[in-house]
Every structure is written in C-alpha cells, then in structure tokens.
Structure 1
Amino acid sequence: MNNINLSKSRYCECVQCVNILWLNKYKPEYSQTDSNDSVLENGRKVGELAKGLFGDYEDIPYDKDIDFRIQKTEELLQDKPNIITEASFNYENNFCSVDILKNDADGVEIYEVKSSTEIKDIYLDDVAYQYFVLTNAGLNVKKAAIVYINNEYVRSKELDMEQLFNIEDVTDIAREKQNQIKNNIDRINEFMRVHDGDNEPDKHIGVDCFDPYPCPYWEYCTRDLPKPNVFDISGMWKSKKFEKYYEGKISFEDLENEKINPKYLEQIDFELNDREPKIEKEPIESLLSSLNYPLYFIDYESCQYAIPELEGTKPYQQIPFQYSLHVIQEEGAPIEHYEFLAEADDDNLIRTFAESMIKDMSEDGSVIVYNKGFEATRNREIGEMYPDLLEEMERINSNIVDLMVPFRSRDYYTKEMKGSYSIKYVLPALYPDDPDLDYSNLPLIHNGGEASEAFLSLKDKTPEHQKEIRNGLLKYCKLDTLAMVKIWEKLKEVTD
C-alpha cells in the first residue's frame, strides 16, 4: 500500500499530534482556528524578501499540480550553479518545497526561512524532514540551515538584509534526526492505515495541544469534559492544569479542596456557590483618592512589522499608531474626547503620534490606563528614539495610574470575571447587557489583534475601504477609553 501524501507542514503537525492529521481528513468541520492575517502576511513578506538573500534566483511559482513543480525543479537543477526558490521534491509521497535551495556543482544547500526571532524545535523537524526527502531523492545535501529574524537589528534609512537575517547551520542536527524522521513517517502511515473514517483514534490531550502551536481541535477533543473545568482556571500554568487533569481533578467540584493558589480557589468558590460581588473598599478608595484632575483616560493601539518599515525601529517592535483619550478637566466637568489615528504612509508616525498626545495632555494630571506596562513601555521607547521628547514622555509616565490594579489584586471581584482581570471580562461583569459597551456590536474591529491587522492592511485598500476601516478603528479605540471611564465611575459608585 502506498504511503499517504505528506508535506513538511503535515509532517510537523504529526510531530505535535498525529490525531491532527486524522481530524483534518475526517472531521475538518470541527477545526477552530484563530486566523491571524497579519502573522501570515508577515511570514509571506519575510519569505519573499529572503529569496534574494544570495542574489539572483529562479522562482518556482505555486501550482496545485505538484508534478509540474517537481518537473520544473528538475530542469533548473541541471543549470547549476544557481539559486532556486520553492524547489519541489517528492520521495515515496513525502513532498516538500525548499524555501531557498543553493544549487552548487557538488551538491545543494537547504535554507528554511522563518519569520520568527528564534529557532524552535519544530523548525529543526521541518528542516530534517526536507533533508530526508532530498537525500532520498538522490541529492547530496551539503548543508541545512535556518534563516530567521535578528530582533536586535535597528533599521537605518535603507534596509540591510544581511543585518536583518540570522543564518544558523543545523546540518548536524538534521543528519542526527534522519532515523527519527523515517520512524515517524512509518508510524504516521501505519496510524492512518489503522484509523480509517469509521475508526476514530482515542482522543489525546496534553501540553502538546498548545506546543508548538495551539491545536485547532482543542474544543473537539475536550467536548466531553465537565464545564467549567480545570482548563477554565484563569492564570494557572498549563503544565499545572494538565497535572491536575492527569490526577483526575478535572471539574471545579474536584478542585475546590485542593491545595492550589487562593485566587484559583476563589474563582472556583464564586462559580460553585454563586457568591455576591467581593468589594474591598479601602484599597479602591486609596486608588481613587490618588487621582489628580484633569483625568486623562488613554489607550494605545499598536502594530508590529517583522521587516521594520520605519527608520530607527527593530523587527517586531510595537509601533503605536492610534490613541483614544477621554478627558475630565475637573470634578463634575463634562467628558471631552480626543483621538489620533496615524496615516498609513507616514514615515514618522511614531513621532506624529507622540506630538499629538503631548498636545492633548499638556497639563499635568492623572494619566489613567488599563495595564500600565504597555503604555509606559511605549512612552520610554519614544523617549529613546526622540531625545527631544524624552522629558515629556517621562512627565506622562510619572503621572500614570493603572486602573487594572483593583481587579488584578481581587479587591473587586465577581463570578462573571471568571478569574480574569482583562478589561474584556471586567467591563461586561460590571455592566452586563449594556449594548453601548458591547465590543461585539462594533463595526469591523472588535479587539486589539483585529485593530493591528486592520491598520497594517490600509496601504493596500481603496480610499473608500480605507475610510471604512479607519472609522472602525476609531470606534473601537474610543470604546476602550469609554470603558475605563465607566469602570472608574463604577469604582466611585461602590465606595460611596
């Protein structure tokens, strides 16, 4: 019987969990993937840029007809020495395309391109699989390497590809893994022969459900567990959750007398016994009394470029491109709203962002954020990039107050927060069924990930579509700071 068709991505999925292959074939409707377009686009851009790392190259365009791609590769291999990108090979139904193939007179070199800033174990499996296919297809593989992003590189006016990319030789590791690759392929084929569509394999859950990637079938494989269960405990390490799971301590009832973090027990207790809200007035009053008018409720949105597009920035640096600001000048004063959203083609958008914010918060007052680490770090980075703005950035940082503190420390807690202090849990817990505070009612943009993706996509959109996206971004960010105002109002209400 012929081997099943394996690609390098399918092989790597099976290294994580072979059940994924069976589920993809027989139960694909249960897959739940959080597709992140910006991650995919970053990967595509990095891959395309890296193709020119060694100079001119011959590219084999994608074609559903694998045989066509393999034939094209065979033709180009004769024209050595050359560089071939997406060179395609097959050995006993094990297929792979090599990102960059350096084709020399005495053999070939494999270069696998990753948009990551580090080498993960699964990348080594990926390269070793390619080495297996190419060597068994009759090629002399002299070298196998991983090309990945150098996150210490700071872009100057022109992009320096040699500085942007790190190249690590992993030939020895790839060779050491060859027997393992062969055994894994045999095991995968035997598994799929034994388990046809009518013979579902035993479900398996473990830490590998999240490592190296979150499995899209998690909900399917845990569908029979009691709800809520140990995996719903907020903040507990996954390894600890699986430890309890393997001990048979799965439901909240199983866990309520366990010796675990008091915060986890509190979440369990509130859930099982439907407790009234817990409100510790003294620390909440202390926070409120520390605030000084004017009150600036501010939230940033940011994006990341794998390939830095702005001078002075690093790969994957958080680039603040938007803020919303609700201002209360004095007690009892009406709420004012200010906002900023960068132009997608502004090469100085970080400075433009900062200058607008400084203007809108020109007076000293409490700068109220939710999770101050994020905004404070962005402000420090801006001060480092632009020394003339450092004093203003430090002034703003010195006035920051974190509205998250009462919820993180559980001075204010309700069952509906489900153990979390994220604003996406806290807000609906404090204001249930308020359509004006429901993120799902927003047009286009509903969370920070979508906001980042939307901004990154602007350059490729028509003016009409850009206007629609920008409107969605403004509405989303505005709700983030309105949410903080409403939380502040609730804190005042419960301490009166």
Structure 2
Amino acid sequence: MDKIFLSKSSYCKCVQCQKILWLDKYKPGLAADENNESALKKGREVGELAKKLFGEYEDIPIDENISVRIKKTQELLKNKPNIITEASFSFDNNFCSVDILKNDSDGVEIYEVKSSTKIKDVFLDDVSYQYFVLSNSGLTVKKACIVYINNEYIRGKDLDITQLFNIEDVTDAVLEKQDEIRENIGRINDFMQEHDKENEPETVLEKKCFDPYSCEYWDYCTRDLPKPNVFDIAGMQRRSKFKKYNEGKISFEDLENEDINAKYLEQIDFELNNREAKIEKGAIEELLDSLKYPLYFIDYETCQYAIPEFEATKAYQQIPFQYSLHIIREEGGFLEHKEYLAEAEDEDIIRNFALSMIGDLPEDGSVIVYNKGFEASRNREIGEMYPDLKDEMERINGNMVDLMVPFRQRNYYTKEMKGSYSIKYVLPALYPDDPELDYVNLPLVHNGGEASEAFLSLKDKTPEEQVEIRQGLLKYCKLDTYAMVKILEKLRDVTS
C-alpha cells in the first residue's frame, strides 16, 4: 500500500494524536465548528510581514497545485543566492512548504515563522519535519530557525520588523529529533494502514487532547461519557481531571465522596441533589453597602494586534476600542446609558477611548465592573502610556467595585451556574428564560471574542457592512452593562 500523504501540519497533528488524522480523513464533519478565522488571519499577516526580513524574495504562490509549486521551487533554487518564500518540497510522500528559505551557494537555511510570542515544542516538531524533508531531498541544510514575535518591542512611529521579530537558531534541537521524525512517520503510516474507514481507532483520553492545541474532536471522543462528568467541574485543573478519569472516577456520582476542593464538591452536590440557591446575605450586603452614588456600570471591549498597529503599543497588547456605560445617579433614579465605539481608522484609539470615558465618569461614584482585574489593568496601561491621564485612571480604579465577587466567592450560588462565576452563566441562572437578557438573541455579536473579531474586520468592509457591524457591537456591549444592572437588582432583592 502506498504511503499516506503527510504535510507538516498533518504530521504535527499526529504527534499530538494519530486519531486526529484518521478523523480528518474519514469523519471531518464531526470536528467542532470553531471560528479560528481571526487567528488564521493574524498568522497570515505575520507570515507576510516576516517575508521582508531578508530583503527581496521570490514567492511561490500557495494556491497553485503542489506539483507546480515544487517545480517552481526547483527552478528558483538554481538562482542562488536568493530568498524563496513558501519553497515547496516532497520526499517519499512527505510534503512541506518553508516559510522563508535562505538559499546560499553552500546550502540552505530554514526559517519557520510563528505568530506566537514564545517557542513551543510543537514548533520544533514542525521545523524538524521540514529539515527531514529537505535534507532527504538532497539539500544541505545549514541552519534551522524559528521566527516569532517579540512582545517586548514597543512600536515607534514606524514599524521596525527587525525589532518586532525574534529569530532563534534551533538547529541542534532539530538534528536531535531526526530519528524521532523518521520513526514517527513510519508509525503514522502503519497506523493509517491498520485503520480503514470501517475500523475506527480506539479513543484514548489524556492530556494530549488539549496539548499543544485543544482537539476539535473532543466532543465526539467524549460522547459516551456520563453527563455531567469530571471534565465539567469548573475550576479544576486539567491534570487533576485526567487523574480522576484514569482512576475511573468519571460521573458526578463517582466523585461526590472524593477528597477534592469544597467548591468542586458543592457543584457536584447542587447538581445531584437539585439544591435550592445558596444565598449568604451578610457577604452580599457588605458589597451593597460599599456602593456610592452615582453608580457607573461599565464594560470594555478590547482587541489585539499581532503586529502593533499604533505608536507606543506592543504586539498582542489589549487595545480598548469600546465601552458601554449605564448610570444611576441617585437612589431610585432612572437608568441612563452612554457608549463609545472607536472609528476603525482612528490612530489615537486608546487616548480617545480614555478621554471619552473620563468625560462620562466625572464624579467619584462607584464604578461597577464584572471582573475588576481586566478593566483596572487597561486603565493602568493607559496611565503608563499617557502620564497626563494617569491621575484620572487611578481615580477611576480607586472607585471600582467588582460585581463578580459574590459569585466567585460562592456567596450566591445556584445549580444553573454550573460551578462558574462567568456572567454568561450567572445571568441566565438569575434570570432564566428572559429573552431581553439572552445573548443568543443578539443579531451579530454574542461574546467578547466575536466583538474583537468584528472590530478588527471593519477596515475590510463596505460602508453598509460597517454600519451593521457597529450596530451589532453596540447592542452586545450595551447588554453587558445592562446585565450588571439586573444582577445588582437581584442581589438587592435576595437580601431585602
């Protein structure tokens, strides 16, 4: 039987779990529908920028037939010295494209580009596989390197890609892995020949299901486990979950008498015994008594650029682009709403965000947030970037009250919260079947990840599409702060 076709991505999947390759081939429709377009786009942008690191280059179009790409690569290899990007090679049905190939008179150098800020083991598998293919194709590979993002680099007015990218020589590590690569390829081929379409491989659940990446087939591979099970315990470390799983402690019934964290046992107890809501009035009243009018309910939305877009920012820095603000100025007062959403073309986005917020929070009332650490960190970053705004950012931080605390501390807990204190679990638990508070009913944006992707997509959209997306962003963020208003109402109700 012919050897299977392996690319560098499919090889790396098999290093994680060989069954992924079988599922990709025979049951691809069972993969979770994960929206990775934003991550893929960032990867493409980083890859395209990195191609400029060594000056002029010859590019092999990746949308062409593989055999055409390989033939073009062979032609360009003759024109040494030169730089070839997406250089394509095949050896014994093992295929790879090299992000950047430095083609010198005495051999070649491999540069694998990653949009990550650190080197991971799987990157070494990736570049080692490329070394294997190229060296067995008759090339002298002098060096193998990984190019990745330097998130300590602060952008000036102009982007300096020599500062943005780190280049690490991993040749020694790659050479040490060559026997492993050969053996793995043999095992992968044996595995796929042993398991045809009608002969599904055994499922083995272990740490590799999430390392280095969360497997898209997790739901499929765990379909026969009791529901809920050990993997549904909120907050438990993954290695602890797998330890219990391997001990045969899988269902909540298996776990209810285990020596584990009290919060995990509480989640199990509430689920199995359908307990009434736990309400510790004293702790909740302590939070309520700390509130001072006017009450400002605020929530930020942020996005991240792999390639820093704005002066004085770093790669993957959280860039605040939107807030929603509900205000109650006095006890019994009516509910006001203010909001801010940056323009997609704004080059001073962070400062304009901050100035708008400062203008909307002029008094020293309670600034109510859900997960104080996030908004407070953004404010500190703003103060560091703009010293003239630092006092105002500190003032706002000093007035912050975290509405998440009673749920994180389990002062208020119900079965429906499923062990979580995320607002996406708390809100429907407090207000079940309320369409006004259901994120599913929003027209376009339903969570923070979608909000970030929506904002980042604006520049590529038509004016009509931009209007629609902006409306979706405003409705989503408005619900986040209205949700906090309703949660506060519920806390007052249960303590009155």
Q: Within 5 Å, give how 1:97-496 maps onto structure 2.
A: 97-496=97-496
- 1:51 corresponding residue in structure 2: 51
The one-letter code matched in structure 2 to 1:459 is K
Distance in 2 between the 1:8 and 1:74 partners? 19
Runs of 4+ in 1 over 4 A off after TM superposition: none
SS of the equivalent of 2:80 reads coil
Distance in 2 between the 1:351 and 1:275 partners? 48
Distance in 1 between the 2:278 and 2:244 partners? 27
Distance in 2 between the 1:203 and 1:184 partners? 19
Distance in 1 between the 2:344 and 2:310 partners? 11
Unaligned 5+ runs, structure 1: none
Shift of 1:64: 4.5
Distance in 1 between the 2:39 and 2:341 partners? 22
SS of the equivalent of 1:89 reads strand
Deviations 1:98-152 (A, max 9, x none): 0000000000000000000000000000000000000000000000000000000
| TM-score, normalised via structure 2 length | 1.00
- 1:78 corresponding residue in structure 2: 78
- 2:11 corresponding residue in structure 1: 11
- 2:25 corresponding residue in structure 1: 25
Distance in 1 between the 2:460 and 2:219 partners? 35
Distance in 1 between the 2:198 and 2:239 partners? 33
Shift of 1:63: 2.9
Shift of 1:33: 3.7
Distance in 1 between the 2:411 and 2:293 partners? 24
SS of the equivalent of 1:83 reads strand
Deviations 1:302-336 (A, max 9, x none): 00000001000000000000000000000000000
Shift of 1:41: 1.0
The one-letter code matched in structure 2 to 1:259 is D
Distance in 1 between the 2:46 and 2:354 partners? 29
Deviations 1:406-457 (A, max 9, x none): 0000000000000000000000000000000000000110000000000000
The one-letter code matched in structure 2 to 1:19 is K
SS of the equivalent of 2:22 reads helix
Deviations 1:457-487 (A, max 9, x none): 0001000000000000000000000000000
| TM-score, normalised via structure 1 length | 1.00
Shift of 1:192: 0.3
Shift of 1:180: 0.2
Distance in 2 between the 1:35 and 1:94 partners? 28
Unaligned 5+ runs, structure 2: none
SS of the equivalent of 1:388 reads helix
Shift of 1:36: 2.4
Distance in 2 between the 1:234 and 1:160 partners? 43
Shift of 1:204: 1.2
The one-letter code matched in structure 1 to 2:196 is D
SS of the equivalent of 1:324 reads strand
Distance in 2 between the 1:297 and 1:406 partners? 17
Deviations 1:184-238 (A, max 9, x none): 0000000000000111111111110000000000011101100000000000000
Shift of 1:35: 1.9
SS of the equivalent of 1:76 reads helix
Distance in 2 between the 1:439 and 1:225 partners? 29
- Larger mean CA deviation between 35-44 and 365-374 belongs to 35-44
The count of aligned residue pairs is: 496
